[in-house]
Structure 1
Amino acid sequence: MLGVLTDQQPDSSVTLAGLLALGRYPQQFVPQLAASFIVLPTMDGSALADGTRFIDNQPLDGPIPAIVAQAVSAMQRNMRRRSVVEGAGRQDIWDYPTEAIREIVANALMHRDYHPATQGTQVRISLYPDRFEVASPGGLHGIHAGRTDVAQLIDSSINSTRNALLARLLEDVVIPGTGRPVCENRGSGLRAAVQALDRVGTGRPELDDRVRELVVTVRDQCFRPGVSALGDGDRLAGRFDHDPWAPPPKPDARQQAQLQPLYEGTPAEVIQLLQAGPLSSVDLAAALGTSKQTVLNWLRRLRDDEIVAPTRADPRTRGNKWMLVSRFHPHVPDQSAQI
């Protein structure tokens, strides 16, 4: 009665909606009905000088609830996070709120075009330094077709869906690890995403209805050119007494005098980037538009001169980052001056 099973198909007793909502691994039968996640190092999607095209590249498959959970996890792994301490509590603030990511990705998977002619196209999730985009096959459906104003869609009191049976099933299917259903099927998903973005001061989603596909774009209002927007979710963790999103200050006269011999052949931008917090060599390479090996050569020279230090005992350990030693960091007291 719910439409999960059918006796109208002699070769199968499961509907496509039932397979996508409740199946164990739908891609066994429909390989491309999944999603892809990529992280691009540049704002225009071009490769770095060393040929690097993607910082991260991950297929997202399984049933729709699992894909949504994987998408949120992949975004968090590549977003910046800063922690705000208020009293005895701590609140983590991401570049993009997880609720908005979850709603936008769920909407893309639920409302995409599942016609046989489009089943060879995946939902694409792309994270750029200054924005993230979610593209799904098929444009806006029904009464919403042609509308690219988010306010119009939010204010509309009519819920129009291309895949009514799938939307109905996803009301009762829970996203792993959250205890929350994939959707409410009340036309409230976009409204919830906008509210979450408004709370953190991020711009509202932009809709681009291209008929064959719908692209939803959310821009990072705190993005600063020249500072990498890529990280592993822990780059800006900690309490800040300054604005972590502001451009890093230049070294003062005393610091410049100490660092001057190292400026030849080593960009001052490396030191300025590290003033915002520890960064990996991959992050630095992406921010400076150069190769990882070149950055490692610079870091090796700076470490030998005790200007930077690795966060792990062995710099080759996975997850290692590089940080400025205290006397060169503008927000850490210079202990040597007090001796």
Structure 2
Amino acid sequence: MGIALVAGAVLAGTSACGGNSSASTPTKDDAKAASSAPAATASPKPTTPKPLGPPMLLDTITPETNTTVGVAMPISVVFSNPVATSARAGIEKAMKISTSVPTTGAWHWFSSTRVDFRPESYWKPGTKVTIDADMTNVPNGNGRYGTHSYVHNFTIGDDDEASVSVTGHSMKVTHNGTVVKTMPIDAGSPSFPSWDGTMAVIDKAKEVRMTSCSVGISCDKSSPDYYDLTLPWDVHLTTSGTYVHYSTGDPYPGHSYGSHGCVHLSLANAKWFYNFIKQGDPITITGSPRGKAAGDNGYADFNLDWSTWLKDSGEGQITTSPAA
């Protein structure tokens, strides 16, 4: 699957193009370390509280603390064990979010183990965000209880965005609303179309091995759709395997549908884009017949309209305030 961060959210269907790359695996939160803690035992000291039950652990919190991310980056929390629907509002209340700029947003449960927070519209550049998740003794509704707090601080960077026109074979890149570069691209073919919609950058890697077998296209080496390539300057858009990158099989894009669903740039443009873009920057693809990527296929959270987003929120819409 490649992305430990959202392993539970990978789509069951095949993807356009993909790769297995250890460089694509984000660092685990320190929550993992808690799973190896010794089991609690009875204590003769009355001041030592007895655990209410087995621990509820957080598998990951993203973005990582002390990072700068793009305006479309959600806060994504993955739990090690399923959370009951009845416990969701309580868990959301325990995961307090404060911001330097008041922001209207909400949590949304993609599954029993993954919940994301996003603003109604993109974050304002420069916003400082803190998530203070005091999970101590918070129940998950399935007999488990939180054991400690998790605090992450991150900053919203410049508003850097890219818009890809599949039919126009072009990509427009903006920086704080000003166009800085327009580049020729090739996107997915009619047989293997690209995802439409807005996808926040998951991560990027200088090289990624991409294989047709890993994404269910073909494992037959004699098939014309078989490939096994290690390609440079890879910007990762979906957990199902969509990248913006350079392809040796399509070195001069801008004229056709030359990929299995990825977005191809020339070598020079791919390197430039790799150096320009950051995690959480929104990449919007239009003109593809495949439809929008599911919200949990990576960080495509903004593919859900606000009313749909709120339907799977325990607490509902909130407005953040500065930390006390």
State whether TM-score is above 0.5. Answer: no
More helix by share: 1
Higher relative contact order (CA 8 A, sep 6+): 2
Q: TM-score, normalised by structure 2?
A: 0.30
Instruction: Give the number of the structure whose alpha-carbon radius of gyration is greater.
Output: 1
Q: TM-score, normalised by structure 1?
A: 0.29
